[in-house]
Amino acid sequence: MKKILSIVMAAVICIGACIALASCNNNDDSAFVVGICQTQKHESLDKATQGFIDSLTEALKAEGKTVEFDTQVASDPNLCSTVINTFTAKNVDLIMANATPALTAAANATSTIPVLGTSITDYNDTFKNNIPENVSGTSDAVPFDKQAEMMIETLNLVAGDKVGVLYCANEPNSLIQYNAVKALFDEKGIVVEAYTFSEVTELQALVTSAASECKAIYVPSDNTVAENDSIVGTICTEKKVPVYTSYGGAVCYASLAIDYYELGVETGKMAAEILLGNKTPADIEIKTLTPSVFYNKELCAQLGIEVPAE
C-alpha cells in the first residue's frame, strides 16, 4: 500500500513540475497583450484597426518583443462595455478603442490600463475638457470649413440651395460635425437640414426624403451611416443627388478626408512607446492627420460634376 502511495505521489509531483515548467515557458516577459475594441465593422474602422496592428507589431518586433491581439467588434455601440470588461478582467497591457463608444467605455472601465483611441473626432468634447490621464490617441477630425468650401465650389451651391446632413442621433461625433458645417453654410445663405435616425430600419425612408428635398447630402464621419452607406449611395445615385462624406468611401463624389489606415499606424506607434516604457498616455498629445482630397471620377461623370483640373 505504501509502495502504491509513493508511486501516486511521485506521479503527482512529476505532473506538478511539468505544469510549473510549462507555466514558466509561457510566461514570456517580451510578449504583450493588447485588447482592441472596434465599435462597428466598416471599411474606415477596419483600416484603422489593421494599421494599428501592423504598426505596433513592426515596432515591437524591432525591439525583440511580440504582441498578442484580442480583437473584438462590438457590432452595437451599446455592447462596447461588455467587450472592454473582458479586457480589464484579463488585465491586458493596453486597450485600443476604435471609435467614440469604445473609447468612453474603456475610459469608464479603467484608470490604470493605458487606453488609446482612434477614429475619434473630438477628445475634449467627448470628455468635457477633462481627458483622463490614461487616455490619448489619434483624431479623424478634418477642417470643416475646407469641406464646406469644397462642396460649394464643386456643386456651385448658392444662397437658397438646400444641403441635407445625414447622421445617427446616437453618435455624438456626428452632432459636432453637423453643428460645424451648418454654421459655415449658414454664412453663405445655404439652407441646412439635419436628417437623423436612431435605427437602421429608418435609413431607407429617411434618405429617400433627403434626396427628394436637397441638392446635396453631407455625411459626417458617422459609423452607423458608413456601415450602411450602400443604401445612401443607391438611392442618391438614382436621384442624381451627390453625396459628400467625411470618411471617403465609394458612395461619395468627393471627400476631404484622412487615410484611416495611416491613422491606425500612428496609433500603433503611440502604443509601442507606451508598452516599451518610453511614455505614458499623459505624455502623448492627441494627433490629427492632414486630410487629402479625393474625387470619384466615375461617379462625378455619372452625376454631371466636373472634377477641377488642379
Q: What is the pLDDT of residues 291-303, one digit of tens each?
A: 999 999 999 999 9
CA distance linking residue 179 with residue 122, whole number of Å? 13
* Same topology between domain 31-140+259-279 and domain 144-257+293-303: yes
C-alpha cell at 148: 464646406
Fold of 144-257+293-303: Rossmann fold (3.40.50)
Fold of 31-140+259-279: Rossmann fold (3.40.50)
Q: What is the pLDDT of residues 69-90, one digit of tens each?
A: 999 999 888 899 999 999 999 9
Res 25: pLDDT: 34
Average pLDDT, stretch 204-227? 94
Contact 170, 77 (CB under 8 A): yes
Average pLDDT, stretch 274-283? 98
In the chain, pLDDT over 70 holds for what percent of residues? Answer: 90
β-pairing verdict for 115-120 and 94-98: parallel
Helix (H) or strand (E) holding 247: none
Average pLDDT, stretch 239-254? 92
Res 18: pLDDT: 37
What does the domain layout of the chain look like in residue ranges?
31-140+259-279, 144-257+293-303
Residue 192, classed as helix, strand or coil, is: strand
Burial (Cβ within 10 Å: 0-12, 13-18, ≥19) of residue 270 = buried
